[in-house]
Amino acid sequence: MIECFGPPKPGSAVTPLAACGSRRLNQPLALAGLSILLLALAPAEPALARFRRTEPAAPTLSGPAAGLPDKPRGAIILAVSLADQRLTIWDDGVVVGRSMVSTGVAGHETPRGVFTLLQKQRMHRSNIYSNAPMPFMQRITWSGVALHQGHVTGRPASHGCIRLPADVAKKLFGYTRIGARVIITDQPVTPADFAHPKLFAAMPWDTPPPTPPAPPATVLPQAALPPTPVEPVAPEGAPRPVETSAFGEAATVIKAAYPPPEASLAEAPAIQIPPVVEPEPAPAPAPKAAEAPKRPPVGHVSIFISGKERKLFVRQGFEPVYESPVEIDAGVALGAHLFTAMEARPQDGSTRWSLVSLPVKDGRGLGAAEALERIQIPEEARIEVGRRLSAGASLVISDQGLGRETGKTATDFVVLTP
């Protein structure tokens, strides 16, 4: 059906049918132009995403029906891309969810680096920004950066925190555990399985420390031994030598000048020797009760190797428990690498590691395998770390030191990348 938009103007020679026909001729052109305009205005991202996608699609947490599994299957890594304003949730090396976020604006940028979930509160209020509410808060630094529910636009909009949509913040709060790693980078990163002979291996808790080698015995050559002195033997009948003292050469030993007669020795009274009385044996000590074997400590395990300090640090339950010097080849930039133990089996020493290498300033830094080759770790430190390894433990290698965000206690290693 063709609809006319009104009668012809008075005095016009065009009939109503002709007027409708003229609009009939113009209508296809108008529809074609409108179609072109709509196609131009339609977002191209969904079409491009089909070609950009390099991994299986994961559910986007954007509605009440969408959600994460009931509980995590393994080690969790939360990866935030500042360029895409997107959070990707990895569970045991598999993507289980994505969500749009809003990070810090210029002047209040969200820091980049490797972080850890340190604290969780269902309702938290900011002590910096006018007591602002931060529902489902998950803290990653004690200086005030956290993931929490907030207004999300898909563009930077916060004072440094990572804002999540309401349903995502609630679901993620119930899904994560204290100690989960959080990675913040400009561009998206992808964890991948990684193996190397110099990575730590899980060991039983009762693995003994290494036995220190015995010092080598010093054997002097025969020529270096001092000669044995030989006393001269006086010929028979020669006069006895005169022994001297500190008072001069004329002094002689009394026993040499006046030997005691044997008769006087026979007349001497016999010496009475009292009988020896054996002491009574002391009572045997009561047997000690068998000590219960020490249980391995519990809590999230983090290892940090610092190229700046040339040390290996270990924390468990956010408390320092061990440190050791390490040798690192001079003049090398290690880069920044996060290794996560996806599985650890002390009974057979097998440990499955995942790797994320973070971009660093000016692209300086070795690959993960090359960095491990340049680090010499004492055997004692390997045993100490191996006894504590469990699924979810992490190792960070970086040229940086402990940094201002890593407190002396009650926190994990925070490694910032420029």
Q: What is the CATH number of the domain that holds 374?
A: 2.40.440
Q: Give pLDDT tens digits for 57-71.
A: 555 555 433 568 888
Higher per-residue confidence, 258 vs 79: 79
Residues making up the chain, counted from first to last: 418
* In a domain? residue 248: no
Q: Give pLDDT tens digits for 179-191.
A: 999 999 999 999 9
* Final residue in a domain of this structure, among 190, 218, 240: 190
Instruction: Give dist(CA 30, CA 94) in Å, integer.
Output: 49
φ/ψ of 331, rounded to 5, equals 75, 20
**Nearest C-alpha neighbor of 298 from the set 331, 281, 264, 321:** 321
**51-60, 66-75, 241-250, 397-406: which has the minimum mean pLDDT?**
51-60
- Does 164 share its domain with 309? no
Higher per-residue confidence, 396 vs 236: 396
Q: What is the CATH number of the domain that holds 104?
A: 2.40.440.10
* In a domain? residue 359: yes
φ/ψ of 264, rounded to 5, equals -65, -30
* Residue 112 pLDDT > 80: yes
- Does 200 share its domain with 318? yes
**Nearest C-alpha neighbor of 210 from the set 384, 19, 23:** 384
Q: Give pLDDT tens digits for 318-372.
A: 999 999 999 999 999 999 999 999 999 999 989 999 999 999 877 788 999 999 9
Q: Give pLDDT tens digits for 291-311.
A: 544 677 889 999 999 999 999
Pairing mode, strands 162-164 and 146-149: parallel
- Does 148 share its domain with 197? no
Where is 171: in which H helix or E strand? helix 166-175
Structure tokens at 183: 């990675």
Q: Provide Rg for the chain, Cα atoms.
A: 42
Domain that holds residue 162: 59-190
At residue 68, the pLDDT reads: 80
Mean pLDDT score, 379-394: 95
Structure tokens at 380: 């004692």
* Residue 239 pLDDT > 80: no
- Does 87 share its domain with 152? yes
* Residue 226 pLDDT > 80: no
- Does 94 share its domain with 160? yes
- Does 304 share its domain with 157? no
- Does 184 share its domain with 305? no
Total structural domains in the chain?
2
At residue 244, the pLDDT reads: 52
Instruction: Give dist(CA 6, CA 103) in Å, integer.
Output: 55
Mean pLDDT score, 381-393: 95
- Does 131 share its domain with 200? no
At residue 34, the pLDDT reads: 59
pTM, two decimal places: 0.68
* In a domain? residue 229: no
- Does 176 share its domain with 308? no
- Does 200 share its domain with 164? no
Q: How far is CA 413 from the centre of its chain?
A: 7
